[in-house]
Structure 1
Amino acid sequence: MTPEQTAWFAETFGALVANVGKAVLGKPHTIRLAFTAMLAEGHLLLEDAPGTGKTSLARALAATVQGTHNRIQFTPDLLPSDVTGVTIYDQGSGRFEFHKGPIFASIVLADEINRASPKTQSALLEVMEESHVTVDGVTHSAGRPFMVIATQNPIEQAGTYKLPEAQLDRFLIKTSIGYPDHASTVEILAGSAERDRSSHLTPLITTDAIGDMADMAAGVHVDAAVLDYVSRLAEATRSDPQTRLGVSVRGCIALVRCAKVWAAAQGRAFVIPDDIKELAEPVLAHRLMLDVEAEFAGVTNSEVLENVLSVTAPPVERVA
């Protein structure tokens, strides 16, 4: 990236975050993570208690980007064809025609994804990984950009289906919004007559420009010392006695992709170890599988990752 491109990227990224911040008050860090997932061409999983603004964030992101967006309300009776689409015989033309499902949009909100059956959840695996859907042997592209923003409620587990590890690994970033601070809560209450703040947001960027930003971020330099640091972190999660399954190579690639966007958003054309440290928890924590005894003892994925970061020394100089 040239200095001019880096400056434009950081300015545009800040404007996008500020625009969404008009609808989701007091949560700039979570918004930055959401746009990082979008520009790294990945998907976002929001897990939080009811009423914290998960759906509002997804709507605000869709309203800021001048593209198409759909919402899928996941329920136990939802079928895979309700998500991907179905081929129907047209008697008039005498041939089969494919009717696209709601998954074909620039931004797709998968609301309460853990309420759908595993069969329906698995219908998302191909499109989230490959950005296309195969129905009756025919492949249909989802276009670019394509992002799934899924929400799930960790409190109510009755009638839900836990996301399998293969599905969790498809989400580039997993984060939560949390409750707003006092000042933001007062501001939200003052505008309580307005049910949906995101409906008044104006698009700031086209889908083509999002693609250009993603291409720019992909060109951010990552020194070999930083790559070595990422690899050592992954190895440390695999050898940790509290984990059954550590970070995969896919997880390492996801962390590097996100770090490139994070660096560009701060006006840098290169990744530093602090970028890796800051993004390690939202990118890697959900990819860990804890040992049964550690899980029973109340150990969390975030605690394991925090320990790994503390014992793995970051690089202090570049590789010549």
Structure 2
Amino acid sequence: MNQSFELTPTRLRELRAFAAAARRLNFSRAALEVGCTPSVLSRRIAALEEVVGARLFLRTTRRMALTRRGEQLFAQWQRMEAVMTDLAAGLRPPDGELAGRLCVHLPASYGRYRIAPLLAGFMCEHPGVRIEAVYDDAYVDMVAGRVDLAVRVGRLDDVQLVARRVGTMRYFPCASPAYLASAPALVEPADLKAHRCIAFSGYRRGTLWSFSRQRQRRPVRIDPVMTCNDSQAIRDAVLAGVGIGLQGEYMAAGLVAEGRLVEVLPDWQLTAFPVHLLWLPGADRTPALRRLIDYLSGAMMRT
């Protein structure tokens, strides 16, 4: 490839000098526009004419005009200027408005109940931001999945990610009043062995429910009548009277307040799980992601 036709910084200076002269048809005024002397401007245009292989201007002592080749080149420059203007406008949203596309990975039920309303509020405040929300309890590789922000409940395994703790999620066993009306007595965690239990397959401890009260520890291995990988389906089964299941406070607290569910063994607690926001190092330099992180952190830590 002939190096003289590359858009080097020198060539761009020559093109800008040419464009200024083509607009003004006056070398002195064009030189003021580009910040050089008329003689420098003239040399730049002469160098460009040599590269193009044709004269770009017709000049007399009283008149100056573009040649046909000059008109063609000036039209090309104007099209390039329009593209560059659009590109520059796209780099910075107007009036400081946030823009961009973010992929957010969320736990299935917790994300729907707890995070989805917050994402909706954020998008109402920042309509220029586009969000792809993925609700899935499976672990996601944030690099391979091109995920900008993840919400994770429980222990963190990936130390290469930046984490911000934003809350705690409490689980508790609950049942419907109809089930409890005909079920065996339930006073101690060990009594669960005589009950119909529903297990969540995404629970790290599986069928081992570990209760504590003050300094007492009571692990119980349940024999589930049903195993499910969806918390909402477990809630529906518990409401229908199938048996006792673990529910997150975010989902079941309202049902308990309404009397549709009953928290069993309320004096005993299961281990609560930390909730974190996760992102790749340096990703929060993106204004839209940084604002979303701050928005979710503030909202989740207030409740």
TM beyond 0.5: no
TM-score grouping bracket, smaller chain normalisation: under 0.3
Larger radius of gyration: 2
Q: Please, what TM-score do these two structures have when normalized by structure 1?
A: 0.19
Q: Please, what TM-score do these two structures have when normalized by structure 2?
A: 0.20
Normalized per residue, the structure richer in strand is: 2
